[in-house]
Chain A
Amino acid sequence: MFKEAEIRTFIDGTTNYFETSAQQSATVGSPYLVTDGKPGAYEYTGVIGITGARKGIVYFTAPRGMLTVLLMRMQETDTSDENIKDLVGEVANTISGNARRDFGKNFVISVPVVIAHDLEKITTPHARSFVIPINWRTHSAKLVVCLE
């Protein structure tokens, strides 16, 4: 069972991502537990499958406006849909990969799967997920951690 204390790893990974990549801090709201299998999503979602010692998924989900500004903060001028999808997958990949600092090498991450626009396609393998609300500039996003 995923322990509440372990959520700190993902909070730290999220804040570090924005501080380093965007050179601008994000604030993280109080994480909360969702038990109905519907943690919710925004327009673009990058999903990382987790296998090995832990099993489940980690996803980062954000609206297009946030991802566009994030790209621009990274000096990327191409804000096409293709690059927006690339970015949302890369954020999910980076935060999940960084979690191996605490979880170790047996926290095996997949390449990102990106889901855009079709919120119905986003499902979690277990009913219980932790949601980390993320606020950056005027935008809101979420990191969802669903691990057994």
Chain B
Amino acid sequence: MNSTAGPRASLKLMIVDDSNIIRRRIERSQQIERLEVVGAASNGRAAVEMFRRTQPDVVTMDLTMPEMDGIQCVEELIAINSNVLILVVSALADKATAVEAIEKGANGFLCKPFTDRQLNDALEELLSEA
């Protein structure tokens, strides 16, 4: 992790999704006290640029996006910081896609549509790895 402090230290969250509604929903619904949203990007290319600038510890990542898709973006973020925790949040519900995302370096997979509770449970599980 970028953060070297204890498990209660604040962690920076970046949200990547081409839907403004989903970006806002994740920001509004996540109730993890130690997560602070530092940015939101609408495609993979913008996410890579924002990632370099804001250095988040945690990323939620859509897969189907214009310009650069989420799988490629996961690879690029991992190449920049292999310690980042990535939760893929995607409608693509086949197992092969989830496996591919994990193999590229993602740490978790949440299928859309999701409830607030499912989002927070997935984030809690992700952070338990931190």
Q: What residues of chain A have their CB less than 8 Å away from a CB belonging to chain B?
A: 16-17, 20-21, 23, 71, 74-76, 78, 82-83, 86-87, 89-90, 93-101, 103-105, 107, 109-111
**B21 x A98 contact (CB < 8 A):** no
Given A17-B113, A90-B21, A94-B91: A75 and B97 interface contact (C-beta under 8 Å): no
Partner of B21, one of A86, A100, A101, A107: A86
Q: A93 near B91 (CB under 8 angstroms)?
A: yes
Mark interface residues in B74-100 (1 if CB within 8 Å of A CB, else 0): 000000000000000011111011000
Residues of B within 8 A of A (CB): 18-22, 24-25, 28-29, 64-66, 90-94, 96-97, 111-115
**Closest chain A residue to B24, Cβ basis:** A76
Q: Is the CB of A90 within 8 A of B19?
A: yes
A97:B20 contact, CB within 8 angstroms: no
Q: Which of B21, B24, B111, B112 has the largest number of chain A CB atoms within 10 A?
A: B21
Query: Bound state CA distance, A83 and B20, in angstroms?
Result: 7
